Chains A and B, each alone.
Chain A
Amino acid sequence: GQQLNQSPQSMFIQEGEDVSMNCTSSSIFNTWLWYKQDPGEGPVLLIALYKAGELTSNGRLTAQFGITRKDSFLNISASIPSDVGIYFCAGENTNAGKSTFGDGTTLTVKP
């Protein structure tokens, strides 16, 4: 089946720093999604990308859908302590909500 490779696996940064994480796939997806999961909670959608090359922002978050449809990155600017959590990329092809998830990037922000 389709697999998503997400990197880095974990990041330890200082408050105020910018963060970048990315996701690559061996196959094409029509939709790329970025989620954040806090401990003991379900994932919360951050950004959805629908078109190759699309660049979308949500506050301090920016994500891009790669031209080849096989990759995406998420940037977080000026990190704050509440950014701590696990960030997952997910790919989707059916537009029906069935997603394949990456392995996640665990973000730790030091005050």
Chain B
Amino acid sequence: GAVVSQHPSWVICKSGTSVKIECRSLDFQATTMFWYRQFPKQSLMLMATSNEGSKATYEQGVEKDKFLINHASLTLSTLTVTSAHPEDSSFYICSAALTGNGQAFFGQGTRLTVV
């Protein structure tokens, strides 16, 4: 149980285009999901908290107009990187937690390369 799936696993896009990444909880409902970004050889840095049915909460320094988050159902959150630039190239990882115990389960990550 507690499987989180991300799609796509990797994507290459042209500079200036937008890319959507999906995060699904396959066997449980998640009112809250989290989006992290990980640069090579670095740790995971929380970008935002995705709340079902309401606006996402962004961490300091993360542009909400650039990283659009939608959490339309209890099993799906999407992250859209708008007007992507090469510096947005990174590994994006989502997680969802089982309610009440803080254990978060992570997706397999999405490798974004902007050329």
Mark A residues whose CB is within 8 Å of B: 1, 30-31, 33, 35, 40-45, 48, 50, 88, 92, 94-104
What's the least CB distance linking B56 to chain A, in Å?
A: 12
Complex alpha-carbon distance, A95 and B43, angstroms: 21
Interchain residue pairs with CB less than 8 A apart (10):
A31-B102, A41-B109, A42-B93, A43-B93, A50-B101, A96-B97, A97-B32, A102-B43, A103-B43, A104-B43
From the candidates B32, B42, B96, name the one contacting A103 in the complex (CB within 8 A).
B42
Chain B residues, CB < 8 A from A104: 43
Mark B residues whose CB is within 8 Å of A: 4, 6, 32, 34, 36, 42-46, 49, 60, 91, 93, 95-109, 111
Complex alpha-carbon distance, A50 and B102, angstroms: 9
Complex alpha-carbon distance, A102 and B43, angstroms: 7
From the candidates B6, B43, B93, B103, name the one contacting A45 in the complex (CB within 8 A).
B103
From the candidates B4, B98, B100, B111, name the one contacting A40 in the complex (CB within 8 A).
B111
Complex alpha-carbon distance, A35 and B6, angstroms: 18
Given contacts A88-B43, A104-B43, A95 and B105 within 8 Å (CB-CB): no
Taking a contact as CB atoms under 8 Å apart, the answer to whether B95 and A97 are in contact is yes
Complex alpha-carbon distance, A95 and B103, angstroms: 8
Taking a contact as CB atoms under 8 Å apart, the answer to whether B44 and A88 are in contact is yes
Taking a contact as CB atoms under 8 Å apart, the answer to whether B108 and A42 are in contact is yes
Taking a contact as CB atoms under 8 Å apart, the answer to whether A100 and B46 are in contact is yes
Shortest 8 CB-CB contacts between residues of A and residues of B = A97-B97, A42-B106, A97-B104, A95-B102, A31-B102, A92-B102, A42-B109, A101-B44
Taking a contact as CB atoms under 8 Å apart, the answer to whether A45 and B105 are in contact is yes
Taking a contact as CB atoms under 8 Å apart, the answer to whether B44 and A97 are in contact is no
Counting chain B CB atoms within 10 Å of each CB, the highest count among A45, A50, A96, A103 belongs to: A96
Given contacts A42-B6, A44-B106, A97 and B43 within 8 Å (CB-CB): no
Complex alpha-carbon distance, A92 and B97, angstroms: 12
Q: Which residue of A lies closest to B42 (CB)?
A: A103
From the candidates A1, A35, A41, A96, name the one contacting B102 in the complex (CB within 8 A).
A96
Taking a contact as CB atoms under 8 Å apart, the answer to whether B107 and A97 are in contact is no
